[in-house]
C-alpha cells in the first residue's frame, strides 16, 4: 500500500482538533453510518486546507476495506440493519473519496492508481449484486444500485483527471485498460436506464468514458456484451439514452445532459458498423437525433461545438443534413 494511504494514528494526530474528533468517532469500533455522515457533511461544507485533505484520504480509503464485502455478500448470515449500515457507509465513503480527489491540486499518480484498484473492487461488487442492492434506510428511503453505480462512477471519473481538470492519460489508461471494465459499464448503463431516478448523474459519468472506445474494438465488443450481447441491445441503449436526455426538445440541454449526448455521439466514431447502423435505424435513431438537434439549437453551439458531432453520428443509411443545423449523500437517520 502507498504510504499516503496507510491509516496511521500518528498522522491522524496531525489533524485539527475538531476534525480529529469527527475522524475518531467515524473510525472507532462499532461506528455506524451516522458517524461517517457527520464527517462527510463537514467535508462537504468546509474549506479545509489541502494538508487536512491529504490526511483524510487514508480514512475514506479504509472505509472501503474490501473485507466488508464478505458481510455484504453473505445476505443470510448477517443482521439486515448491520448490512444496510455497512452498505450506506461504503456509499458515503465513495462520495468522500470523490471530494478529496477533486479538491487536491495534485494527486500522485501511484496513489490515484491504487485508489482506482480499490474502487474497482467495489464497482465489481455492485455489478455482481446490483439486483440485490435494494434496501430502506431507517427513514424508509429506498436505496438501490443506481445510487451505488452513480457514486462509484463519479470517483472513477474524478480519478481520471489531473489537477487542471484535464484527463490524466496514465490514470485514465489504467481505468479503461482494466479487464472487463466496459462490460461492467454496459450493464451499469442498462441498469441506470431502467432504474435511475431524476437527478442521478451516473449516465453522465459513464458517457465520459465512451471516447476510449475509439481506441480498441475489443472495448466496443465488451460494451456490446454488457448491454445484452448484440448490436440490437447496444442500439436500444443508445436510442433510449438519447430519448431520456431530451424530455422537452424545446429547452436547451443542461451541462450533465450535454456531456451524456457528447459521449453518445462519440460512439459512432468507435463503431462504423453497418449492423449497428441498421439496428439504430430500426429503433428510431433519426427521431431521437432530431429531438437532440432541436434542443441543441437553443444552445450556444459556437461555445459547445455539439452540432457537427450530431451530424457525424447519423447512421450512413440516413441522408446527411446540411452542416449549418447542431453530493448527496446517503443518510441513515
3-state secondary structure labels for all residues of the chain: CCHHHCCCHHHHCCCCHHHHHHHHHHHCCCCCHHHHHHHHHHHHHCCCCHHHHHHHHHHHHHHCCCCHHHHHHCHHHCCHHHHHHHHHHHHHHHHHHHHHHHHCCCCCHHHHHHHHHHHHHHHHHHHHHCCCCCEECCCCCEECHHHHHHHHHHHHHHHCECCCCCECHHHHHHHHCCCCHHHHHHHHHHHHHHHCCCCCCHHHHHHCCHHHHHHCHHHHHHHHHHHCCCHHHHHHHHHHHHHHHCCCCCCCCCHHHHHHHHHHHHHHHHHCCHHHHHHHHHCCHHHHHHHHHHHHCCCCHHHHCCHHHHHHHCCCCCCCCCCCCCCCCCCCC
* Domain end among 144, 178, 212: 178
Say if 83 falls within a structural domain.
Answer: yes
Give me the pLDDT at residue 301, please: 59
Q: Are residues 252 and 120 in the same domain?
A: no
Tell me whether residue 89 is in a domain: yes
Whether the Cβ atoms of residue 213 and residue 266 lie closer than 8 Å to each other: yes
Q: Note whether 252 and 130 are same-domain residues.
A: no
Residue 186 lies in a domain: no
What confidence tens digit (pLDDT) does each residue in 233-266 have?
999 999 999 999 888 898 888 889 999 998 998 8
Same domain, 147 and 33: yes
Q: What is the arithmetic mean of pLDDT over 127-134?
A: 89
Give the domain range for residue 53: 1-178
Is residue 173 located within the same domain as residue 220?
Answer: no
Q: Are residues 174 and 217 in the same domain?
A: no
Asked if 122 and 28 sit in the same domain, the reply is: yes
More confident: 266 or 310: 266
Q: Are residues 92 and 144 in the same domain?
A: yes
Segment 298-314 shows an average pLDDT of 57
Q: 188 in a domain, yes or no?
A: no
Is residue 198 in some structural domain?
A: no
Shared domain check, 216 and 171: no
Cell of 112: 490515484
Give pLDDT tens digits for 6-49: 999 888 999 999 999 999 999 998 888 899 999 999 999 999 99
> Is position 196 within any domain?
no
Q: pTM of the prediction?
A: 0.88
Q: What is the pLDDT of residues 174-209, one digit of tens each?
A: 899 999 999 999 999 999 999 999 889 999 999 999
Give yes or no: residues 143 and 222 share one domain. Answer: no
308 and 254 assigned to the same domain: yes
Residue 299 has pLDDT above 90, yes or no: no
Query: Looking at the 3D structure of the chain, how many domains does it have?
Result: 2
CB 90 within 8 A of CB 31: no
Mean pLDDT to the nearest integer, 298-310: 58
Amino acid at each position: 500500500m502507498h504510504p499516503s494511504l496507510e491509516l496511521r494514528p500518528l498522522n491522524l494526530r496531525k489533524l485539527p482538533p475538531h476534525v480529529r474528533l469527527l475522524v475518531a468517532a467515524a473510525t472507532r469500533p462499532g461506528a455506524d453510518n451516522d458517524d461517517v455522515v457527520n464527517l462527510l457533511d463537514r467535508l462537504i461544507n468546509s474549506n479545509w486546507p489541502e494538508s487536512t485533505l491529504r490526511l483524510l484520504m487514508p480514512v475514506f480509503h479504509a472505509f472501503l476495506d474490501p473485507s466488508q464485502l464478505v458481510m455484504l455478500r453473505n445476505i443470510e448470515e448477517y443482521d439486515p440493519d448491520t448490512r444496510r449500515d455497512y452498505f450506506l457507509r461504503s456509499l458515503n465513503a465513495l462520495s468522500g473519496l470523490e471530494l478529496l480527489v477533486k479538491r487536491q491540486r495534485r494527486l500522485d499518480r501511484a496513489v490515484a492508481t491504487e485508489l482506482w484498484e480499490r474502487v474497482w473492487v467495489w464497482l465489481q461488487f455492485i455489478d455482481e449484486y446490483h439486483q440485490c442492492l435494494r434496501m430502506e434506510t431507517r427513514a424508509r428511503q429506498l436505496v438501490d444500485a443506481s445510487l451505488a453505480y452513480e457514486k462509484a462512477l463519479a470517483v472513477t471519473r474524478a480519478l481520471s483527471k489531473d489537477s487542471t481538470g484535464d484527463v490524466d492519460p496514465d490514470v485514465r489508461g489504467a481505468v479503461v485498460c482494466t479487464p472487463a471494465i466496459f462490460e461492467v459499464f454496459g450493464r451499469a448503463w442498462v441498469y441506470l436506464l431502467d432504474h435511475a431516478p431524476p437527478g442521478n448523474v451516473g449516465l453522465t459519468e459513464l458517457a465520459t468514458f465512451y471516447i476510449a472506445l475509439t481506441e480498441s474494438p475489443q472495448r466496443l465488443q465488451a460494451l456490446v456484451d454488457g448491454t445484452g450481447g448484440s448490436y440490437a441491445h447496444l442500439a436500444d441503449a443508445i436510442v433510449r439514452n438519447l430519448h431520456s436526455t431530451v424530455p422537452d426538445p424545446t429547452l436547451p440541454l443542461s451541462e450533465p445532459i450535454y456531456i451524456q449526448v457528447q459521449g453518445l455521439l462519440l460512439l459512432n466514431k468507435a463503431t462504423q458498423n453497418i449492423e449497428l447502423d441498421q439496428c439504430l435505424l430500426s429503433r428510431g435513431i433519426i427521431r431521437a437525433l432530431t429531438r437532440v438537434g432541436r434542443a441543441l439549437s437553443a444552445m450556444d453551439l459556437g461555445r459547445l461545438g455539439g452540432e457537427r458531432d450530431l451530424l457525424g453520428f447519423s447512421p450512413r443509411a440516413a441522408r446527411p443534413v446540411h452542416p449549418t443545423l447542431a453530493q448527496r449523500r446517503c443518510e441513515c437517520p
